[in-house]
Amino acid sequence: MGFWLIMLFVSLRLRWLAWRNPVFRRALQRRNTLMLWRTHDGRIARWFHFTENRVRSGPGLRDRCHVTVSFHDAEYGTATLIQLLKNQRVFVTGMRQRKIRLSGNPKGLIWFMNVVAGHLIPGGVQLWRKPSRPQGTVKPRRRDQG
């Protein structure tokens, strides 16, 4: 259920971004990519079609996808997608363990990870934790603290 729900929310967020975010709309220009995210057995699947200024999505399997990302099972897919927010190496580790299979053009997945994934969470990855100051910056003093 978690994997299905995450995929649904990702599709809603991508559609909203294509409608409202000018930076994301520029990333979609000259793009015609059909991606499929699924479990190995195909019980849970969702396709994403990225076209110029638009993202369409739907449940189920789809033929002739440019990129297919297949997870071992729904639980592993859910855990990986949640951990992916903090550490993108989790995806590579899953591919080495053969729990994540990639078929099709890997450039589409690289584009998704580098361009699209950064827009998925409102406010960036630091949604659940307080943003920290960069190292070397000093907290400004108030005038009365001399």
pLDDT digits (tens, 9 = 90+) for 1-50: 789 999 999 999 999 999 999 989 998 998 899 999 999 998 999 999 99
Helix (H, G, I), strand (E, B) or coil at 136: coil
Which candidate, 117, 108, 105, places its Cα nearest to that of 14? 117
> In this predicted structure, what is the pLDDT of residue 142?
64
> In this predicted structure, what is the pLDDT of residue 114?
80
As a whole number of angstroms, the distance between CA 121 and CA 13 comes to: 8
Over the stretch 114-136, which tens digit does the pLDDT of each residue have? 888 777 776 554 434 455 556 55
> In this predicted structure, what is the pLDDT of residue 128?
41
DSSP string, 45-107: EEEEEEETTEEEEEES--SS-SEEEEESSHHHHHHHHHHTTT-THHHHHHHHTTSEEEEE-HH
Average pLDDT, the chain: 84
What does the pLDDT average to over 88-103?
90
Confidence bin at 144 (pLDDT 50/70/90): low
CATH of the domain at 124: 3.30.1050.10
- Beta bridge partners, 59, equal 46
* Structure tokens given for 5: 């729900």
> In this predicted structure, what is the pLDDT of residue 55?
94
User: What's the domain count of the chain?
Assistant: 1
The residue with greater pLDDT, 130 or 91, is 91
Q: Which residues form the domain of 138?
A: 2-145
